Each structure stands twice: as structure tokens, then as C-alpha cells.
Structure 1
Amino acid sequence: MQPTLLILAAGMASRYGSLKQIQQFGPSGETIVDYSIYDAIRAGFGKIVFIIRKDFEKEFKEIFEPKLKGRVETDYVFQEMDAFTDGYATPADRTKPWGTAHAILCAKDAINEPFAVINADDFYGRDSFEKAAAFLKDAAKPDVYCVVGYQLSKTISEHGSVSRGVCAADSESNLAAINERTKVYKDGEQIVYEDADGSKHELAPDTPVSMNFWGFHPSVFKLSQDLFRDFLQQNGDKPKSEFFIPIVVDHFIKNKVGVVNVIPTGAQWFGVTYKEDAPGVQESLSALVKSGEYPDNLWK
């Protein structure tokens, strides 16, 4: 069975105001997500599911359907505020969706096979998709998930600090914990993170970090649904509370429901954390096209 790729794109349009302005980085006007889809198809993913906002459905399909028709199966899922809330009344002052783990839950009826999850606006690289596809085809089980671990030095912005989920792995390369470091940056030759009190701590360049590229068995839906119910009881009245993927993963590991393999990649990650990152992304993609890693027009 071919795995599915679930792309978290509900925030995409709200960041840009309209999908028409989504940044084009490739030589033929490709967006970052075009490269992810291209890599996923050649790695053997059989279906692409987009999580989007209902009000951008028409625009979204106009952009992606002409490219993908006949190449891969597609589906569209909406992250609605009242989905899976089991009658819980959403507070009137809440404006943002319930977070990334809730987004995954919204895809419950669209996915019956092992699947990967990525962000729409991050470039992950071919190696990551090949390794994720191999894991999902052969190793994903109800009690075995995975996260792709990037080398920290390959995920840093030259233009300011970034937040990174630092992965602590056990002796069997399974995830023991993810520690969210909110202020990570280059300090001379070193990479450091800062605590709330301003104290600095060095991190090794090859420290594995999560860039939100996960591999799941469909068992994650039931687990997420149960945990979301608890989350709403405890945090539903806080207007900015979010139900994130690491909340589910943390429960999965700590309660010994299963293990999460950390799959290392040497791939270069890039994304646009800062406006100033955009030219570098364009240059990096041009270099990859020049070296033959990608054609100069992905969908020709």
C-alpha cells in the first residue's frame, strides 16, 4: 500500500491574505510546496491530502488540480473550528484554529493508510521523503511512528533567531523527548539557544531537530481524538491555546503506547522565517535545478 502525504496548509492563505500571492521560488514559478509534492510522488507516495480553510477551497484547487491531475490522487480536508469538538461550545473570543494535532484529526476520514505530515511552507529535500516513504511502507505500526531528524546547522536562518524542537533520542534511536528551544541562532562559530533569563547554551551543529515532518500509522487518529477531548476540558477556554502534534507524541511516548523512530537526514531544510530569507531560498532552489536534482519546470 502506498503511503499518503498530509500537507498542513490551513494557515497558508491567512498568512498571505490570498493564495494568489503565495511566493514563487522556482524557475517556472513553483512554490515551496510544489517541490515537496514532486519529491513525495517520486518517493512513492500515492495520495496527497491538503488541509485547508474552506473559504480557500476554490482558489486552492485552481492552483493545484491542473498540475497534479493524472499524476497523483488528491483530496482536500477542512480544518473547521467545531470539528471533533463533540458539542464543546467554542468560546466566542477564539479566532484561531485549534492547532496542528487538531488539523491532523480533521483528516481522519480521508486517510486509512500510514501517512506523513509536513508543513506547506517548508522545503524538506528529497532524502527526507525517500526515508519517510520507506518507513511508512515497511515499519509503521499502531505502536511505531517516526519523526525526521534534521541536523540543526542545516535549519538555521542567517537573518535572526528561530524556534526548533530539539530531539533527544535513546540508545535505540527512538525519541525520548522534544525540547522546544524558542531562540536559536548563530553566535560567531557556535549555534546557541537562549533561556528566558538570557543565558546562552551551545548546541552541536549535528543536533537532531524536528521540522514537523512526521510519519504516522492511522492509529494516531483515535489517540488524537481522545487527547483533544481532554485538551478542550483543560484548555478550551484559553483563546490562544493550541493542540499541537508534540502533545500527542509526548503522550504516546511517556505512556508507553509506542515508540517514535528518529530518522536522520542530511538534507538541507529551508523556509521563509524572515522576509530576508526569500532570496536565499530562491538561490538554493536554482542551485538544485542547475545540479540536476530537479527539472527547471516541475510539472511540464
Structure 2
Amino acid sequence: MQPTLLILAAGMASRYGSLKQIQQFGPSGETIIDYSIYDAIRAGFGKIVFIIRENFAAEFKEIFEPKLKGKVETAYVFQDMNAFTEGFEVPADRTKPWGTAHAVLCAKDAISEPFAVINADDFYGRDAFEKMAEFLRNECDSNRYSVVGYELGKTVSEYGSVSRGVCEVNAEGNLAGIVERTKITVEDGKIAYEDGDQKVELGPKTPVSMNFWGFDPSVFEVSEKLFSQFLEQNLSNPKSEFFIPIVVDSFIAAGLGSVKVIPTSSQWFGVTYKEDAPGVQASLSALVNGGEYPDNLWK
């Protein structure tokens, strides 16, 4: 069975103001999402499911349907504030979506096979997609999930601090825990995060999560239960979010199974700061010139 790729794109419109300005980085106007989909198709993914907001669905489909028609199956799912909130009254002042794990949960009816989850605006690299596809085909089941572990040194920005989910990996190569470290910066070639008024150094090979997960559909049931608990505790906090690591940590802690950390040599890149954009463009040009990608992905 071919795995599915779930792309978290519900936050895109707010960041770009309008989808018409989705940033084009490739030589033929490709966006970062285009490269992820291209890598997924050649790694053997059979379906692409986009999580978007209903109010920009038409615009979104206009961009992606012509490119992907006949190349891969597509589906669209809306992240709706009221989805899975039965028994709870969503506060009127709540404008922020419920977070990445809620976005995944919204795809419950669209996915019945092992699937990967990625962010729309991160470039993950061919190696990561190939290893994830292999995991989903051969190893994934209801008690075996995965996350791609990037080398921290390949995910930092020289233009400011970043936040990363630092993975604690046990002797079996499985995830023991994931800690969100904020304000990670590079100074004089050394990488460190702020902890109070201390700076704590991290090695460049430290594995971090860039939100590239591999799940069995059983994750929907796990998430649904946890989301109810989350709402009980956080309903009145307008900034609270239900993130994927909350589900994963709970899955491990409850003894439901293990999460394999898949190491990758891929260079991650994304646009955390607008100054990052020229570097992303240059990196993609180098990959195209090196023969890793054609100069027009969808020709």
C-alpha cells in the first residue's frame, strides 16, 4: 500500500497575507511545497492531503490542481475551529487555530493508510522522504510511529534565533522525549539555546524534529482522546495549542508503542526570517544545477 503525505498548510494565508504571494524560490516559480510534493511522489507516496482553511480553498486549489492533475491523488481537508469540540463551548474570543495535532486530527476521515506529516513551508530533502516512505511501507503500525531527526547544525538560521524540538534518543534509536528549545542561536560557530540567563551549548549533530512525522491511522483515536483532555484544561486560554509532540509524548509515556528517530543527512531549509529567502533560492539553484531536481518540476 502506498503511504499518504499530509501537508499542514492551514497557517499559510495568515503568514503570506494572500496566497497569490506564496513565495516562489525555484527556477520556474516553484514554491517550497512543490519540492516536497515532488520528493514525495518519487519516493512512492500515492496521495497528497492538504490541510487548509476553508476561506482560501478555491485559491489554493487553483495553484496546485493544474500541476498535480494526473500525477498524484489529492484531497483537501479544512481545519475547522469547531471540529472535535463536542461537549465544549468554543470561546467567542478564540481566533487562533487549535494547533498542529488538531490539524492532523481534522484529516481523520481522509486517511486510512500509514501517512507522513510535514509543514508546508519547510524544505525537507529527498533523503528524508525516501527513508520515511520506506518506514511507512515496512515498519509502521499501531504501536510504531516515527519522526525524522535532522542534525541541528543543518537547521539553524544565521539571521536570528530559532525554536527546535530537541530529540532525546535512547539506545534503541527510539524517541525518549522531545523538548522545545527556544532562542537557539549561532555565535562564533557555536550553537546554544537560552535557559533563563544561561546559554547552553548544543552539538551540531544533535537530532531535532522539524515536524516530519510518520503515523499509523491509530494516531487519530489517540489524538481524539487527548484533545478532549486538552480542551478540559485549556479551553479558556486563547493562546493554548494542541501540538503533535503532546500526542507523541503521551503515546510513549502511556506505553502504547515506540517512535523511531529516522536520521537524515538532508539539509533542511525554510524561511524563518525574510533574510533567509535569498539563501533558500541559492540552495535550490545549487540542487537544480547539481541534477537533484529538474529546472521545471511539473513540465
TM-score (structure 2 length as normaliser)? 0.99
Cα RMSD between the aligned structures?
Answer: 0.5
Q: Which amino acid aligns with 2:26?
A: G
Distance in 1 of aligned mates of 2:191 and 2:242: 29
- SS class of match (2:42): helix
CA shift digits 1:57-106 (9 cap, x unpaired): 10011000000000000000000000011131110110011000000000
Partner of 2:240: 241
CA shift digits 1:45-64 (9 cap, x unpaired): 00000000001110011000
Which runs of 5 or more structure 1 residues have no equivalent in the other structure? none
2:139 counterpart of 1:139: yes
Which runs of 5 or more structure 2 residues have no equivalent in the other structure? none
Partner of 2:217: 218
Partner of 2:62: 62
Partner of 2:129: 129
CA shift digits 1:234-273 (9 cap, x unpaired): 1111101000000000000111111000000010000000
Partner of 1:208: 207
Partner of 1:151: 151
- SS class of match (1:261): strand
Alignment of 1:32-111 (within 5 A): 32-111=32-111
Q: Which amino acid aligns with 2:11?
A: G
Partner of 2:280: 281
Partner of 1:268: 267
Partner of 2:117: 117
CA shift digits 1:13-46 (9 cap, x unpaired): 1111110011000000000000000000000000
- SS class of match (1:92): coil
The Cα shift of 1:200 comes to 0.7
Distance in 2 of aligned mates of 1:43 and 1:198: 44
Distance in 2 of aligned mates of 1:136 and 1:185: 34
Distance in 1 of aligned mates of 2:230 and 2:204: 35
- TM superposition outliers: structure 1 runs of 4+ over 2 Å: none
The Cα shift of 1:189 comes to 2.1
- SS class of match (2:109): coil
Partner of 2:250: 251
Partner of 2:29: 29
- SS class of match (2:236): coil
- SS class of match (2:108): coil
- SS class of match (1:206): coil
Partner of 1:186: 186
Q: Which amino acid aligns with 2:199?
A: K
Distance in 2 of aligned mates of 1:261 and 1:201: 26
Distance in 2 of aligned mates of 1:202 and 1:244: 26
Distance in 1 of aligned mates of 2:143 and 2:47: 23
Distance in 2 of aligned mates of 1:296 and 1:263: 29
Partner of 2:296: 297
Distance in 2 of aligned mates of 1:180 and 1:227: 19
- SS class of match (1:109): helix
Distance in 2 of aligned mates of 1:206 and 1:271: 19
Partner of 1:176: 176
Q: Which amino acid aligns with 1:159?
A: Y
- SS class of match (1:211): strand
The Cα shift of 1:185 comes to 1.1
Aligned length: 299
CA shift digits 1:188-210 (9 cap, x unpaired): 12111111x22111101100000
- SS class of match (1:210): strand
Q: Which amino acid aligns with 1:240?
A: K
Distance in 1 of aligned mates of 2:285 and 2:219: 37
- SS class of match (1:257): coil
Distance in 1 of aligned mates of 2:74 and 2:203: 40
Distance in 1 of aligned mates of 2:64 and 2:145: 29
